[in-house]
Amino acid sequence: MENLIALLVAAPLLGAAVLLCGGRRLDAVGHWIGTAFAAASFVLGVVLFADMLGKSPEHRTLMQHLFSWIPVEGFQANVGFQLDQLSMTFVLLITGVGSLIHVYSIGYMEHDERRRRFFGYLNLFLAAMLLLVVADNYLLLYVGWEGVGLASYLLIGFWQHKPSAATAAKKAFLVNRVGDMGLSIAIMLMFTTFGTFAFGPVLQSTGDAGEGKLTAIGLMLLLAACGKSAQVPLQSWLGDAMEGPTPVSALIHAATMVTAGVYLIVRSGDIFNAAPDAQLAVTVVGAVTLLFGAIVGCAKDDIKKALAGSTMSQIGYMVLAAGLGPIGYAFAIMHLVTHGFFKAGLFLGAGSVMHGMNDEVDMRKYGGLRKYMPITFVTFGLGYLAIIGFPGLSGFFSKDKIIEAAFAKGGAEGWILGGAALLGAAITAFYMTRVMLMTFFGEKRWQPDEHGNEPHPHESPKVMTIPMIVLAVGSVFAGAFFGIGERFVKWLEPVTGFEHGHPPVSALTVTLSTVAVMVVGVGFAYAQYGRRPVPVVAPRGSLLTRAARRDLLQDDFNHVVLVRGGEHLTRSLVYVDHTLVDGVVNGTAATMGGLSGRLRKLQNGFARSYAVSMFGGAAVLIAATLLMRAV
Amino acid sequence: MNPVNYLYLAALLFTIGATGVLIRRNAIVVFMCVELMLNACNLAFVAFARMHGNLDGQIIAFFTMVVAAAEVVVGLAIIVSVFRARHSASVDDASLMKL
Amino acid sequence: MSFPLLTATAVLPALGAIATAAVPAAKRTAAKWLALIVSLGTLALAVTVLMRFDPGGARYQLTESHAWIPEFGVRYELGVDGIAVALIALTAVLIPFIILAGWHDADPLETGSKRWRPTQGFFALILAVEAMVIISFEATDVFLFYIFFEAMLIPMYFLIGGFGDRAHEHGEETAATQRSYAAVKFLLYNLVGGLIMLAAVIGLYVVAGNFSLTEIAEARANGSLHMATSTERWLFLGFFFAFAVKAPLWPLHTWLPNAMGEATAPVAVLITAVVDKVGTFAMLRFCLQLFPEASKWATPAILVLALISIIYGALLAVGQRDIKRLVAYASISHFGFIIMGIFAMTSQGQSGATLYMVNHGISTAALMLVAGFLISRRGSRLIADYGGVQKVAPVLAGTFLIGGLATLSLPGLAPFVSEFLVLVGTFSRYPVIGIIATLGIVLAALYTLVLYQRTMTGPVKAEVAHMPDLRVRELVVVAPLVVLLIFLGVYPKPVTDIVNPAVKQTMSDVHKKDPQPEVEAAK
């Protein structure tokens, strides 16, 4: 069975290699090859899952050592895999949602001449993401970590002829690199503290290490997670990443890759458990981001950017839960999985809408689309109900548990974190209702563009709607399936541990207030966007709205502090290098040249003057000799 | 006669030769002055040989004569060919060695 | 007496150089093929060296020793340790690609140009450089090493000064002026370094009485050769200065951007991937072995300079407008990493540094050669003259991206392994320096991706609209390099196995032990 793990990663990698090296002759079948490899990986995942279910919960971990990767004195990095319940959850999510999105992309990218390459990149992403979650040590995880970053870079910038896409891709990679710096420092700290960076030895020895070191490792891991999961302060890339094709946004920037940070924190749970300060930092980051993303999501008119804000916010929930320790780990992952379903479904729905609307993304130019695309409307609507936490659907079960766990943190912290999570739930209900109303309800607001092409909204082909339906089914039932009887918690418990939280108020009160704030959020949104017609041109809005439209000024900040500062720094360094460092050398050369010019005048070519200097020299020598004798 | 007087004579001849080399422009005269200096040295060598009572000085004087003879051949040949090319025997005209 | 394999490895390209130069002017194609075949023969010999080398055996293997100038104790002594074997292999692998990439670089210009481009000379000079570099890696006699360390400047001078890019944005006259400026600058910098080293070599002879690296190192180790502290430090500085110029280390780096900018891309690769490696190699072999105490004394200062090189080189790379100069500054940053790894005095750092030399050679070759192909198509080195190349020449853009990703040390590609080892090795002894150095990986991403974005993406510029994609010859150059990058990134064990024993010995030369982890981790 262990050998299948390597195959799990190898299948999509092989697919990527075939598609990217195969050249144009594979153009006609490229998308089928890519989908086949993704599906093969999913089948392998299911086989492994079935095998895992057959074992007792304590013995479900599979280990596979492939080969010694970097053998250097005192430093042993191996290529080895570890598949436990946590990894398995991710494997199924990645390959399952991944395969669905491959299928969807067959339709979505049909008219793109570079479709083969798109599927190659998607396969590359799957391979890297699988490597990330099945690696048995941090260094190999790092390979997957950067690998998904690369795939994300390639896919965001897939339409490279658009400068905005190329810039967004570069930005995403760079911001992620800052996070990667955190991960590499964390690995180096582990190496100096434990002498290794394999999961097993490190996580089992946390008891012996000093708390200072563990806090440092934890904070560095948090930095890494912030980069990959678009958490404050490294959140700025996610909105721009929506420049990529919509299936990419669904797979990478909603369902899987951006949740890698949560995986990292949960995987390193033992480190965080022993470092309360780092844990506190994690919860703060999570709480701040969940509000940040929600506020940004309220102001965006671009449907994908509104959903991106929402993604940021939902991951904030997961990070918050992961920072709560064993009472939260399982719920973080549970929300991650349900979010994977409904957010992927929402993005695919958005893609379907754009597909029918000539790639228009401005929701102010939608309106009343429920009549034109009924399947999209229903699947999107189910995803919408799931994300706002409508009782009985997926999001309800997972989000409610996180809010409960946040209150259970206890003391002032518990009230603040729980309050933030509740407020976030209200805002979530508001902005998602806004998206729903602006897109599918009201009057039609689209007009012919400057070429006179009027969009003709239509339902997407089956190859696109079927994945949406599957995901919608998941959005409806996954939560109940996982949540009832604590099935999911028990599944993950051997890996992450679990403690029951004890909120200061009863669990029922928390649930009821969650539902109440949701209703309030929906009501506000209905009052603003349902009862009144939506203006086609966005109103100026309040100061907060305008700031939120600009992503709460994140880019302005980065621009002023980092970009401008950096430009000035490099420009002045180029000047310094040219004038100062080089100048010293050139100056020496010039001085030498000047001196030799003077000396050259002595060589006037007259034999007599040479003779004079000879005689003079001889006289001086003789005088000196005599003088030395005399002394 | 005191052999030291020969040394005075040699010094006088050498000085005359050196002065000639430094101040005259005609290559032939300069050349003769060089010969004069060489012969002044020869005189000094012979005088020393007499003073110290061994033959080394005389032997070196013979060497000098041989070398001087060879030098005259080469030197005169150069002067003649320079004169043919430039129609001048002035050493200042042959200042081509500077850059 | 067994077959002198090491001598043969160096002599074959030397003979090849003479033979190539002697090919009649009309048969320039024959000269190219001859040079290529000779370089492949050298590669075969280098592979034989690699096979015959036993990583678990004696420190120096395949040794040869003959008296050369007995009056001064100068011997013709060759021998290779694991580090040298790895670098000889790198050199022998890269030269055929350099020759192939520069296939048309020395063709005569179109009619109407007065410049004479001696094709034979170009390839002969490349082979001559190869011979001298290889023998520098092999020499275990300080004097012998010095001679070839200096002698390789002569062919390099002509390669930089004599052969520039075919087209130049400022016209032929300016190009020639800039080229000769770059060549003279290269020569002067390295000559000054070499002169100071000569003084140190003579000083070493005065102190030790001979030039044999093995004898002196052994005498130093067992205490029979005592050096006063100040003597050792002066001699160390003399050697180090020359190597730091060649490496190049900040602030002695300014010759490199000029040289790499003006030379043709294959020659630029020859400079940075092959010749400069002699400098860092010599730090490991000569500075650490001959002057262990002085090396430790100088470590803090050198680490700071290396750190400055890393950050400064990367920042300047960001600010460049010229593709080749950008790669040059990136190389300065990478050399900072190599030197930092050497002087961190940990097993990881030194193994990483050696691996870095190999990987940097391959990755820079990949990036620079593709950049050269790009430049030869458009006739400009300015980044701003490109845009949207990805659309018209996807394979070229793809290989350029892989070269760039290798330069920014993407995990999975070879440079990541070495860069991480260097960082870990430095961090375990000097945490602050290690953390600041990780900034370099962010900056590397910045300059690489900015370069890629400006040249390859965006709307297609009119001047590049009809740019052909990579030709077969160019693909033959790039594809193996890409394969090597991926292979050594996934499975670097063949190289580390050769390098590790040598590093262990160097560590014991300097009497340093790796820092131990705080906690004994559970198994």
Q: Per the domain annotation, does C517 fall within a domain?
A: no
**Rounded Cα distance, A265 and A219, in Å:** 10
The whole-number pLDDT of residue C211 equals 87
Determine whether the interchain pair C522/A146 forms a contact, defined as Cβ–Cβ distance below 8 Å: no
The whole-number pLDDT of residue A545 equals 77
**Chain A: closest CA distance from residue B78 (Å):** 14
Determine whether the interchain pair A611/B99 forms a contact, defined as Cβ–Cβ distance below 8 Å: no
Among residues A78, A142, A146, the alpha carbon closest in space to that of C406 is found at: A146
The alpha carbon torsion through A357, A358, A361, A366 (nearest 10 deg) reads: -30
- Among residues A539, A567, A584, which one ends one of the domains? A539
**Rounded Cα distance, C355 and C338, in Å:** 9
Number of domain units in chain C: 1
Q: Residue A71 carries which DSSP code?
A: E
Do residues A473 and A359 both lie within one domain?
yes
**DSSP result, chain B:** --THHHHHHHHHHHHHHHHHHHH--BHHHHHHHHHHHHHHHHHHHHHHHHHHTSSHHHHHHHHHHHHHHHHHHHHHHHHHHHHHHHS--BGGG--TT--
What six digits make up the tokens of A78? 């191996």
Residues on chain C touching A153 (C-beta within 8 angstroms): 449
Residues on chain A touching C398 (C-beta within 8 angstroms): 20
Do residues A530 and A594 both lie within one domain?
no
Structure-token match 């000639």, residue found: B20
Q: Helix H segments across C139-170?
A: 142-151, 153-162
The whole-number pLDDT of residue C114 equals 47
Residues on chain A touching C351 (C-beta within 8 angstroms): 72-73
Determine whether the interchain pair A608/B21 forms a contact, defined as Cβ–Cβ distance below 8 Å: yes
For residue A393, which phi and psi values (nearest 5 degrees)? -90, 175
**Rounded Cα distance, A100 and A102, in Å:** 5
The letter for the amino acid at A38 is A
pLDDT digits (tens, 9 = 90+) for A187-233: 999 999 988 899 988 888 888 888 889 999 999 999 999 999 999 88
Q: Per the domain annotation, does A64 fall within a domain?
A: no
**Rounded Cα distance, C309 and C321, in Å:** 20
Residue A12 pLDDT exceeds 80: yes
Compute the residue count for chain C: 523
Do residues A295 and A387 both lie within one domain?
yes
- Among residues A485, A510, A539, which one ends one of the domains? A539
pLDDT digits (tens, 9 = 90+) for A16-32: 999 988 888 888 888 99
Residue C450: give the domain boundaries: 5-107+114-509
Do residues A481 and A597 both lie within one domain?
no
Do residues A311 and A439 both lie within one domain?
yes
Most confident of A442-446, A571-575, C65-69, C475-479: C475-479
* Residues A75/A192, Cβ–Cβ less than 8 Å: no
Q: Per the domain annotation, does C201 fall within a domain?
A: yes
Out of A603, A604, A612, closest to residue B22 by CB: A612
- Among residues A504, A539, A574, which one ends one of the domains? A539
In 3-state terms, what secondary structure has residue A64? Answer: strand
Do residues A576 and A516 both lie within one domain?
no
Domains defined along chain B, listed by start? 1-86 (1.10.287.3510)
What six digits make up the tokens of C261? 């900018």
Residue percentage of chain A with pLDDT more than 70:
100
Do residues A500 and A590 both lie within one domain?
no
**DSSP result, C33-80:** HHHHHHHHHHHHHHHHHHHH--TTS-SSEEEEEEEEEGGGTEEEEEEE
**DSSP result, C366-431:** HHHHHHHHHHHHHT--BGGG---HHHH-HHHHHHHHHHHHHHTT-TTSHHHHHHHHHHHHHHHH-H
* Residues C341/C417, Cβ–Cβ less than 8 Å: no
For residue C260, which phi and psi values (nearest 5 degrees)? -70, -30
Is C386 at the interface with chain A, CB within 8 A?
A: no
Residue A608: give the domain boundaries: 559-630
* Residues C452/C400, Cβ–Cβ less than 8 Å: yes
**Rounded Cα distance, A449 and C222, in Å:** 86
Nearest CA in chain C to A154: C401
Apex CA A82: angle with CA A81 and CA A83, to 5°? Answer: 120
* Residues C247/C271, Cβ–Cβ less than 8 Å: no
Structure-token match 């009119």, residue found: C462
What six digits make up the tokens of A113? 């001449």
Q: Per the domain annotation, does A61 fall within a domain?
A: no
Strand residue runs (E) in C116-208: none
Give the DSSP H or E segment for A150: helix A138-156
- Let me know if chains B and C touch, i.e. at least 3 Cβ pairs under 8 angstroms: no
Q: Per the domain annotation, does C466 fall within a domain?
A: yes
Residues on chain B touching A596 (C-beta within 8 angstroms): none
* Residues A248/A156, Cβ–Cβ less than 8 Å: yes
Number of CB atoms found within 10 A of residue A628's CB: 8
The whole-number pLDDT of residue C112 equals 45
Q: How far apart are the first and last CA of chain C?
A: 51
Determine whether the interchain pair A202/C521 forms a contact, defined as Cβ–Cβ distance below 8 Å: yes
Choice among A256-260, A407-411, A505-509, A546-550 with the minimum mean pLDDT: A546-550
pLDDT digits (tens, 9 = 90+) for A315-346: 999 999 999 989 889 999 999 999 999 999 99
* Residues A375/A274, Cβ–Cβ less than 8 Å: no
Residues 6+ apart with CB under 8 A from A530: A433, A437, A441, A442
* Residues A312/A368, Cβ–Cβ less than 8 Å: no
Packing angle between helix A115-134 and helix A260-267, nearest 10 degrees? 10
Number of domain units in chain A: 2
* Residues C318/C448, Cβ–Cβ less than 8 Å: no
**Rounded Cα distance, A446 and A456, in Å:** 10
In chain A, positions 384-423, which contact chain B (CB-CB < 8 Å)? none
Do residues A533 and A570 both lie within one domain?
no
Residues on chain A touching B23 (C-beta within 8 angstroms): 608
**Rounded Cα distance, A179 and A157, in Å:** 20
SS (H, E, C) C270-335: HHHHHHHHHHHHHHHHHHHHHCHHHHHHHHHHHHHHHHHHHHHHHHHHHCCCEHHHHHHHHHHHHH
Q: Per the domain annotation, does A480 fall within a domain?
A: yes
What six digits make up the tokens of C462? 């009119």
In 3-state terms, what secondary structure has residue A76? Answer: strand
Do residues A583 and A499 both lie within one domain?
no
Determine whether the interchain pair A611/B22 forms a contact, defined as Cβ–Cβ distance below 8 Å: yes
pLDDT digits (tens, 9 = 90+) for C389-417: 888 888 999 999 999 999 999 998 999 99
Rg (CA), chain B: 16
Do residues A335 and A479 both lie within one domain?
yes
**Rounded Cα distance, A347 and A351, in Å:** 6
Among residues C505, C306, C441, C430, the alpha carbon closest in space to that of A192 is found at: C430
Q: Per the domain annotation, does C523 fall within a domain?
A: no
Nearest CA in chain A to C479: A21
Give the DSSP H or E segment for A336: helix A329-356
Q: Per the domain annotation, does C521 fall within a domain?
A: no
Give the DSSP H or E segment for A83: strand A75-83
Helices (H) and strands (E) in chain C, counts: 22, 2
Is C431 at the interface with chain A, CB within 8 A?
A: yes
A-to-C residue pairs, Cβ atoms closer than 8 angstroms: 178
What six digits make up the tokens of C346? 């940990």
What six digits make up the tokens of C270? 């020859």
The model's confidence at residue A283, banded by pLDDT at 50, 70 and 90, is very high
Determine whether the interchain pair C456/A160 forms a contact, defined as Cβ–Cβ distance below 8 Å: yes
**Rounded Cα distance, C164 and C168, in Å:** 9
* Residues C339/C302, Cβ–Cβ less than 8 Å: yes
Do residues A531 and A613 both lie within one domain?
no
Nearest CA in chain A to C252: A581
Query: Would you give the distance in Å from CA B74 to the centre of its chain?
Result: 14
Q: What string of pLDDT tens digits covers the 99 residues of chain B?
A: 788 899 999 999 999 999 998 888 888 999 999 999 999 999 999 999 999 988 999 999 999 999 999 999 999 998 898 888 888 888 777 776 554
**Rounded Cα distance, A541 and A547, in Å:** 10
**Chain B: closest CA distance from residue A589 (Å):** 20
* Residues C50/C474, Cβ–Cβ less than 8 Å: no
Among residues A138, A135, A61, A265, the alpha carbon closest in space to that of C521 is found at: A138
Q: Per the domain annotation, does A60 fall within a domain?
A: no
**Rounded Cα distance, C136 and C499, in Å:** 18
Apex CA C513: angle with CA C512 and CA C518, to 5°? Answer: 140
The model's confidence at residue A153, banded by pLDDT at 50, 70 and 90, is very high
Structure-token match 């007995």, residue found: C70
- Taken in order A341, A342, A345, A351, the sign of the CA dihedral is negative
The whole-number pLDDT of residue C168 equals 56
Q: Helix H segments across A236-328?
A: 237-240, 246-250, 260-267, 269-273, 276-299, 303-323
Determine whether the interchain pair A608/B92 forms a contact, defined as Cβ–Cβ distance below 8 Å: yes
- With contact defined as 3+ CB pairs under 8 Å, the chains touching C are A
For residue C382, which phi and psi values (nearest 5 degrees)? -80, 130
- Let me know if chains C and A touch, i.e. at least 3 Cβ pairs under 8 angstroms: yes
pLDDT lower than 70: segments of chain C? 1, 109-117, 166-171, 521-523
Determine whether the interchain pair C458/A166 forms a contact, defined as Cβ–Cβ distance below 8 Å: yes
Mutate: best of A21, A72, A199, partner C, most C CBs <10 A: A72
Do residues A514 and A578 both lie within one domain?
no
Out of B21, B25, B95, closest to residue A605 by CB: B95
